[in-house]
Each structure stands twice: as structure tokens, then as C-alpha cells.
Amino acid sequence: MITDLIFEFAERTPDKTAVVYNGQPLSYRSFAANIALARGYFASRGVVGPGLAVLVIANMLDFWVVSLALRSLGLTTIAVQSVPAFDELDPPAARCVVASAAEALAGLEARCAARGLELLQVSLAGETALWPNDIAPPERMGGHIQQTSGTTGVRKKVLIDPSFETPFMRRRGEGIGVVQGSVVSVFAFGGGTGVGYNSAISTWLVGATVVIDENRAPHLALLQPGITHAMVTPDLLGQILAAPATAFPRSGIMQLSVTGGSITQAQIEQAKARITPHVFNRIASSETSTWANTALEDPEDRRWHRLIPGLQVQIVDEFDRPVKTGEMGQVRISAADGPTGYLDDEEATKAFFKDGYFYPGDLAVMREDGRMALQGRVTDVINLKGHKFTPAPIEDRLREALGVSGVCLFSMQDEAGEEQLHAMIETPSPLDPAALGDALRREVHGFAGIMVRFTPVLPRNIMGKVVRREVVAMALAARRPEEQGHQGGGGP
């Protein structure tokens, strides 16, 4: 159990930094002492044993202290960071809701009362620390529930159970090279996300240091000396690169892992020039953690991913038979030693977990050397008058060619009921018509034309991925006669 290991490190390496929160270090001794105080708070109020605790805590350091304390007392936790997020949550029957007394969360008390839930507003002042030897351990340690990013339309719940958490998280850390001397920046990724939770837990499992930075400009996290690993999405990377050239130093040792989407070659070059020469493209999911990690050294590395050694990843057809090398199929990943379904969602479990594998919904092809190229998602396939294609590779090339932050392709019926190809381009101002036309003719052909619309911001989920269904809704709501049409020709 992760809390037990933190207490062990507090004895073995008490002065080692466990957390750096907004630039302020906290040793393993102090981190463990705060967890012990939180354990004392809950135990004195009878909050021990099985049950679910919903944590509505914005401060990430407070979240970790409270969550680890509750789990060590036998409760399972789930995290949200605001009252609106609490409203959206549909958890199983909860034993209590936990908030921080230092945070003003208007309306939370009334919402808990309406649901018949006990609200605990935690303050550790004056509490008595409860260390491991002060109380018998629970019959069963508590787990933690992550919520998926909602790419498919529903934020499914993934239970990280203590029965498999340690090997599951160790594999995650080993896959990207986290060791005891590592300093891992998770920026402001919350404990309800896979990248925020998994990165922190896999770091503390080996007694290393987690850097958390929130409620301020993200590039300030890079001022922390000695960072060895940092986790960003393409959107977050864009925010960091928008900072002034002298805002943070360039590191010679940091491994910068980009996850949650593809990045342009221009972003890679800027990241290497300004942040670190060691930039990686990482593919992961809450259900399986990291399953590919590729150093971006050559142009082909953006497309062809290196799978994590020892993890079984296959590409299969619609009958779940492995396809031949070079053929496109659906990715599946071994679910051994990890989650085998979604919490309280039998339908989604049947759709994404089968025969010991997790199916993330990605289409891909495998090369002779074992490297894999993603071809978009099963649910994103566009069917235009019987012609099917995956838009993701085309979107990436258009984004690169046009120098914009996002492109989303989709089909939609016109007023005559005919399917038509559309593109929503994320840019603060319209692009040069000639350059736009050239790029579209080069990348999007085989169709009568394409309708183009510009938007300053594309809708994205918490991981920065474009939410295609919301883009379609935007286009439907904003239809107007002055849409631009561009003609194409040839075949895709």
C-alpha cells in the first residue's frame, strides 16, 4: 500500500523531498506527519473501514494528504476539484464528502444535505497524529477511483484497487525510467486523472520527488531545479512555449513526455530548443497506464511509436484476430495486473474489456520492427457517401502545414440532406485563403468540396483532446451562409 511506503521512506530517508508544492519543498518526514494527522482526524470521527469518500478539494497537496489518509483507513476515494464538478459526479453510494476547511466552496453544504451525505470540512490544527502502529490496519485497504477523460462522451470510472496498484504503478514508473533520484513534475494534473494520479503514485513508490504546481502560470513549474521527468499535454506545452524566452531555464537532463494527443514538428523543435533535448511521445490510458513511450529523435518518431517492453499489445480485426503486419486494425492491450472493467457500468465494461484485454478504441498499423502507428479512433471514422477514412492523420498534417493549434474534420448533412465534409480550424484569425486552399487540396481530396470554419478555441476535454461531438454541435449552432467552401479532387 502506497501510504505504508511513504511512512517507511519517512523513517529511512526523512529529509528527502517528497513533494514540491508551488516551489515549497516538503520532506518525507513532514509529508508522512501530515498524513498521520489526517488519519487522526478521520479516526476520531469514526471514519474508518469500508466505504466511499468523495473528495471536493481544489488544493492538490491537501488532496493527496487526505486521500492517502482515508485509503490507509480502508476507504476508497474519488476526487473532484469544484462544486460544479461535484454536481456532475454520479458516484456509487458515498459514505461522506470531504472538503478542506481552508477552501470556501459555496453551495457544497446544501448539496450534501440534499443528497443525505455527511460533509466533513477538514482542519488538522490540534489533531493527534495516528501512525501505523497506533491502530490495527483495516481488513482491506481502500482504493482510488479515476475518471476517464470523456473522449467517447461519458467519463467512466476506473477503480485502482490496492490488490494490483503497486505492480501496476511500478510498471508505469519503470516504463519511463522513474527511480529514487527522480524529480517528476505533474504540473496541475489532478488526482482524478490518470496522468496526475499515476505519475505521483509511481514516483512515491520508489521514494522519489513529485513537483505539483497549480493556480499560476504553468511555465513556473520549470523553475524547480533538477526536474528529471515532466508530463504535459500538447495544449499545456503550447502554454509553456508561449512564455517569454527567458522565463525558465533549459534543462539538459529532463525527459519531457507529451501525452493526450499529437504535437507538431514545430512544437518539438521549440521544446528541444527551449525546454530540454529529451522529448518523448507517450501513449497511456487510465485503464492500462503507459503502453508506448517514444523518444522524438527522427521525423518518423512522431508517427511510429515504440511499445513498452513486456506489455502485450496487439492489433486485431473485427473478429479479434491479430491482423497481418501493415494491415490496419483495432488496438488491444493486456489487462493483466490492472483494472478489468469500469465501476458500476456493465455496458461500457463489455464494450472496452474482453478476453483479458482492454480495447482503447484506437486504430493502428504495426511495422515489421514492432513499431506502431495510430490511425485515429474507431468512433472518429468518417463515412462520407460510403467512403470511410480516419481523420486524425489528415488533421495532424493540416495542423502542421497551416501552423495552427488544432484542426477537426467531420461530416454533416447540408440542407438538402447530402453528407458534406467540414473542417473546424482553431486560429485567432482567418488564414490566408491561398495557403489554406493549397493545404486542403493537398491533404483532403476525393470529395466534392469541404466547408471550412474558424474558431479561436476548439472544445477540449480535461486532457486537452478535441471533443469531436462538441465541434459538430458548434457547427450546427453557428451555420451561416458565409461559410467558405474549398474544392478538392483526386482520392484520399
User: Between these two residues, 469 and 215, which has the higher pLDDT value?
Assistant: 215
What confidence tens digit (pLDDT) does each residue in 327-368 have?
Answer: 988 999 999 889 999 988 899 999 899 999 999 888 889 999
What is the domain class of 185-307 according to CATH? alpha beta
Enter the CATH code of domain 26-163: 3.40.50.980
Provide the 8-state DSSP code for 287: T
Mean pLDDT for the stretch of residues 472-480:
74
Gap between the Cα atoms of 25 and 18, Å rounded: 8
Q: Choose the weakest-confidence range: 65-74, 300-309, 385-394.
A: 385-394
Using CA atoms of 126, 51, 339, 149 in order, give the dihedral in degrees to the nearest 10: -70
Equal CATH topology for 26-163 and 381-486: no
| Predicted confidence (pLDDT) at residue 210 exceeds the cutoff of 60 | yes
Which pLDDT belongs to residue 380? 73
User: Between these two residues, 248 and 471, which has the higher pLDDT value?
Assistant: 248
- Give Cα separations from 420 to 3, 369, 392, 452 (angstroms): 55, 39, 18, 11
Using CA atoms of 86, 88, 91, 94 in order, give the dihedral in degrees to the nearest 10: 30
Gap between the Cα atoms of 392 and 210, Å rounded: 33
312-378 homologous superfamily: Luciferase; Domain 3 (2.30.38.10)
| Domain spans of the chain, in order of start | 26-163, 185-307, 312-378, 381-486
By the 8 A CB rule, do 318 and 324 touch? no
What cell was used for 44? 476520531
What is the domain class of 381-486 according to CATH? alpha beta
Among 397, 396, 283, CA closest to 333: 283
411: buried, middle or exposed (CB in 10 Å: 19+, 13-18, 0-12)? middle
Mean pLDDT for the stretch of residues 258-276:
89
- Which phi and psi (to 5°) does residue 157 adopt? -105, 130
Q: Choose the weakest-confidence range: 152-156, 254-258, 305-309, 357-361.
A: 152-156
| Predicted confidence (pLDDT) at residue 149 exceeds the cutoff of 80 | no
Mean pLDDT for the stretch of residues 162-188:
92
